[in-house]
């Protein structure tokens, strides 16, 4: 829970990563980007120094549904900075059923799945074009499509897919969250990052050619 120490108004939210949540809420640049949200507008208006962060409950995900516990606290406290009075995801729908609903919906709307390099589902975005626009230019769609077709890492860190890697995958964030804005900013910042492959031979490194076979043939000539 985030509390305004000046007027007592508060915001209740949940996260599977407290570290990420803290960083996002107390990052003024991200707050400015999300200024349309009550809590973000308040942080910009009053300043970070006038807010306190309180952990209401640590949830055992093997026992409880995180979104149901968030809704419980929202309805109990009635926080002024929450735009809606229940958790963002489909409350009351079992996780497996909810996942199936998301799969069905995404297949009909050409959604795009963003995974990290360890193939953990981060977020589901509405379309490839919308992702490209958020990254700065619709022309980025070409690079995104290439990464999707080749099943390679986009900007060395993310897999872009038009389908789930596993049927039971659930996203760690929503597209309207501050976490997502942070992800977009990180993707933008890695515009010029490329991973290189080097071959170590005869006591020295050799940059890779187009592929290992080409390099091997070059050494034979």
pLDDT tens-digit series, residues 36-51:
788 888 888 888 889 8
**Same domain membership, residue 76 and residue 39:** yes
**pLDDT tens sequence across 60-93:** 877 778 888 888 898 899 999 887 766 654 444 4
Domain around 72: 1-92
**Same domain membership, residue 98 and residue 85:** no
**Same domain membership, residue 23 and residue 6:** yes
The CATH number given to whatever domain includes residue 56 is 3.40.1440.10
What pLDDT score does 96 carry? Answer: 46
**Same domain membership, residue 160 and residue 135:** yes
Half-sphere exposure of 12 (CA within 13 A, CB side): 22
The DSSP bridge partners found for residue 82 are none
Closest by CA to 174, choosing from 123, 126, 216, is 123
Spans of the chain, pLDDT less than 70: 20-35, 85-109, 192-221
Predicted structure pTM score: 0.45
**Same domain membership, residue 173 and residue 199:** no
What pLDDT score does 99 carry? Answer: 47
What pLDDT score does 210 carry? Answer: 46
Helices 178-189 and 18-25: crossing angle in degrees, nearest 10, is 80
**Same domain membership, residue 84 and residue 119:** no
**Same domain membership, residue 99 and residue 67:** no
**Same domain membership, residue 186 and residue 102:** yes
What pLDDT score does 26 carry? Answer: 65
**Same domain membership, residue 182 and residue 118:** yes
What pLDDT score does 167 carry? Answer: 85
When divided into structural domains, the chain yields a total of 3
């Amino acid at each position: 829970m985030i509390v305004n120490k000046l007027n007592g108004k508060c915001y209740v939210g949940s996260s599977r990563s407290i570290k990420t949540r803290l960083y996002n809420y107390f990052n003024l640049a991200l707050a400015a980007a999300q200024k349309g949200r009550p809590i973000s507008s308040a942080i910009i208006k009053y300043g970070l120094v006038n807010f306190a962060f309180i952990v209401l409950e640590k949830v055992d995900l093997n026992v409880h549904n995180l979104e149901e516990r968030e809704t419980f606290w929202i309805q109990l406290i009635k926080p002024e900075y929450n735009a809606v009075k229940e958790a963002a995801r489909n409350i009351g729908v079992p996780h497996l059923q909810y996942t199936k609903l998301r799969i069905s919906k995404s297949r009909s709307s050409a959604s795009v799945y963003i995974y990290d390099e360890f193939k953990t589902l981060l977020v589901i975005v509405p379309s490839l074009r919308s992702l490209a626009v958020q990254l700065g230019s619709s022309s980025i769609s070409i690079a995104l499509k290439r990464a999707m077709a080749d099943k390679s890492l986009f900007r060395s860190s993310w897999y872009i897919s038009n389908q789930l890697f596993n049927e039971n995958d659930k996203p760690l964030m929503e597209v309207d969250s501050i976490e997502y804005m942070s992800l977009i900013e990180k993707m933008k910042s890695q515009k010029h990052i490329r991973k290189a492959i080097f071959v170590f031979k005869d006591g020295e490194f050799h940059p890779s050619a187009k592929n290992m076979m080409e390099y091997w043939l070059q050494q034979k000539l």
